[in-house]
Amino acid sequence: NAGVTQTPKFQVLKTGQSMTLQCAQDMNHEYMSWYRQDPGMGLRLIHYSVGAGITDQGEVPNGYNVSRSTTEDFPLRLLSAAPSQTSVYFCASSYGQGKEETQYFGPGTRLLVL
Amino acid sequence: KQEVTQIPAALSVPEGENLVLNCSFTDSAIYNLQWFRQDPGKGLTSLLLIQSSQREQTSGRLNASLDKSSGRSTLYIAASQPGDSATYLCAVSPGANNLFFGTGTRLTVIP
């Protein structure tokens, strides 16, 4: 198993540009989520999905869209990038929502918005 | 809103020393607590998960404890090695596997 994969690894955008961060998992996990990591603030939840066709907002959803058309993929879209979205983005997945469920993280995407 | 605090922010120890990392959280209504390791420029690797009904979990040289009523967890690392150098993150889940993270403790083990 490849686990959780993310592309691209690094991206530079200009303010106002749009892009999609890709996330895929091959573990047949129902639950997937996106976090951003900023210095001094820890990781914060952006959006999550409990299964194909179901998404919901996390702590910091503004400026981001998600969809979940398949179990395997959970892309994160930035419609109009802003410098405040400069961050490292991590995708995570787990089999379910139980108390014993460990989350698996991807390697991250570093995004710089100029 | 759940707040997670990790102290200290950074720690340097000589190889072979036993050490304790601390995590505190403000809301005791949690599903579970997880400890992660993050190497520079890398993703997170789950080390231990403690369910809300458990008091501790062990994996090799690692032992994590949970005192839900006081909002505290500790990660004990025995006989530290240079390969243990990394940032250690604590995260609590209020449900649905959404995690609230601390800012981490950066550990350096000196050979």
Is some CB atom of chain B closer than 8 A to the CB atom of A106? yes
Report how far residue A26's alpha carbon sits from residue A24's, in angstroms, rounded to the nearest whole number: 7
Q: What is the 3-state secondary structure (H, E, C) of A22-74?
A: EEEECCCCCEEEEEEEECCCEEEEEEEEEECCEEEECCCCCCEEECCCCCCEC
Return the pLDDT at B33. 93
> CB contacts < 8 Å between A and B, how many?
68
Q: Per-residue pLDDT tens for B7-29?
A: 999 999 999 999 999 999 999 99
Residues in chain B closer than 8 A to A106 (CB atoms): 43
> Could you report how far apart the first and last alpha carbons of chain A are, in Å?
36
Return the pLDDT at B97. 62
The tokens of B24 are what? Answer: 């505190």
Q: Per-residue pLDDT tens for A35-65?
A: 999 988 889 999 999 999 999 999 999 999 9
Q: Per-residue pLDDT tens for B50-85?
A: 988 999 999 999 999 999 999 999 999 999 999 999
Residues in chain B closer than 8 A to A44 (CB atoms): 101
Q: Per-residue pLDDT tens for A8-31?
A: 999 999 999 999 999 999 999 999
8 A C-beta contact, residue A48 and residue A58: yes
Cite the beta strand spans of chain B per DSSP E: 4-7, 10-14, 19-25, 32-38, 44-51, 56-59, 62-67, 72-77, 86-95, 98-101, 105-110
The tokens of B66 are what? Answer: 């949970």
CA distances (Å), origin A41, targets A4, A35, A52, B85: 24, 12, 30, 21
Is some CB atom of chain A closer than 8 A to the CB atom of B26? no
Is some CB atom of chain A closer than 8 A to the CB atom of B103? yes
Query: In the predicted model, is pLDDT for residue A98 greater than 90?
Result: no
Report how far residue B101's alpha carbon sits from residue B111's, in angstroms, rounded to the nearest whole number: 30
**Partner-chain residue, chosen from B31, B43, B89, that has the shortest CB–CB distance to A106:** B43
Is some CB atom of chain A closer than 8 A to the CB atom of B76? no
Cβ contact A105–B102 (<8 Å): no
